[in-house]
Amino acid sequence: MRLSDSLGRASLSGISILALIFLAFPLLVVIGISFTTTEYLRFPPVGLTWKWYARFFHDTSFVESLFTSAKLALSATAGALLLGVPAGLVLARKRFPGRQAISALFLSPLVLPTIVLGVAILQYASTMGFARTFWALFVGHVVLVMPYVMRTTLASLSGFDIAQEEAAQDLGATPLQTFFLVTLPQIKPGVIAGALFAFIISWIDVEVAVFNSTPELITIPVKMFNYIQFNVDPIIAAVSAITIYVAIVAVLLIDVTVGIEKATTRRE
């Protein structure tokens, strides 16, 4: 029994290590290729050069789409926070009929096909006359990222001692003061984690943005997607590598603020 126990454990560890290599390897390959001195994709890379990064930063259209993506991700995150946190507060503190249904509404963009959200925004914006504008991208992305803000906000609010808020209000604090001085400092880690998730979901989205882009108004993933259909060269590896660095920074930030395990799994 001891033997089979440790055998089982060893084979589990074996599968797990292979799975982790499977997860890390393609990203390492992309980063590796971005440093190759060859004109074609090559892994392992030959030599070491920064020229593909330099070419990327000299191509204004790539840099512009990097800015478009950053602007979109920041504003969509801000929009989702401004709408999601107050709504989460009411949903967590008030009891009223239809509360469950409204919570489900806020989370539902998570389970519906993103590509359908993309075409829905395009079709709706065409009818309303704002198709392929920054506003179309913005509203689409607020809807897309809202569930992530909502989920962490509701989770932090439910594990919160309501008596503290009541004490503050009994002592004469206004609801606004109570929120900013008592509630927000305590739910802050959850809100920050939600905001980082929201930022990254917008930052990497293709399915919504691809339908609402123009050659001038284009996010970095869509730009890469269009580029990759016609050219495959190490520039695309350099751009990809940059987005991987952003992802690593975001993951580390989440780990520092709330802990990566806590932010990504649910403990009861």
Residue ranges in 118-157 that form contacts with other proteins under rule CB under 8 A:
119-124, 126-127, 139-140, 142-143, 146
Complex with other proteins: residue 29 or 64, whichever CB lies closer: 29
| Segment contacting other proteins by CB under 8 A, of 47-55, 59-67, 185-193, 240-248 | 240-248
Does residue 90 belong to the site contacting other proteins (CB under 8 A)? yes
On the question of a cis peptide bond just before residue 44, with omega within 30 degrees of 0, the verdict is yes
Under rule CB under 8 A, which residues in 192-231 are in contact with other proteins?
Answer: 200, 203-207, 210-211, 220-221, 224-225, 228
Complex with other proteins: residue 46 or 175, whichever CB lies closer: 175
User: What is the residue type of 107?
Assistant: L
Q: Given candidates 46, 54, 104, 105, which one binds other proteins under the rule CB under 8 A?
A: 105
Under rule CB under 8 A, which residues in 28-47 are in contact with other proteins?
Answer: 29-30, 33, 41, 43
Complex with other proteins: residue 64 or 132, whichever CB lies closer: 132
Does residue 248 belong to the site contacting other proteins (CB under 8 A)? yes
Q: What is the dihedral of CA 253, 56, 206, 208, to 10 degrees?
A: 100
Cα 131 from Cα 213, distance rounded (Å): 9
Q: Where are the alpha helices (DSSP H) in 172-233?
A: 175-178, 184-204, 220-230
Count residues binding other proteins (CB under 8 A): 99
User: What is the residue type of 243?
Assistant: T
Q: Are the C-beta atoms of 104 and 196 separated by less than 8 Å? A: no
Q: Tell me the closest approach of the beta carbon of residue 61 to other proteins, in angstroms.
A: 16
Complex with other proteins: residue 78 or 247, whichever CB lies closer: 247
Q: Tell me the closest approach of the beta carbon of residue 48 to other proteins, in angstroms.
A: 18
Under rule CB under 8 A, which residues in 52-81 are in contact with other proteins?
Answer: none
Cα 252 from Cα 241, distance rounded (Å): 16
Under rule CB under 8 A, which residues in 152-181 are in contact with other proteins?
Answer: 162, 165-166, 169, 175, 178-179
Q: Tell me the closest approach of the beta carbon of residue 65 to other proteins, in angstroms.
A: 12
- For residues 172-203, one letter each, b for 16 or more C-beta atoms within 10 angstroms of the residue's C-beta and e for the rest, the string is ebeeeebbeebbeeebebbbbbbbbbbbbbbb
Tell me phi and psi for residue 233, to 5 degrees. Answer: -135, 170
Q: Tell me the closest approach of the beta carbon of residue 184 to other proteins, in angstroms.
A: 11
Cα 172 from Cα 187, distance rounded (Å): 22
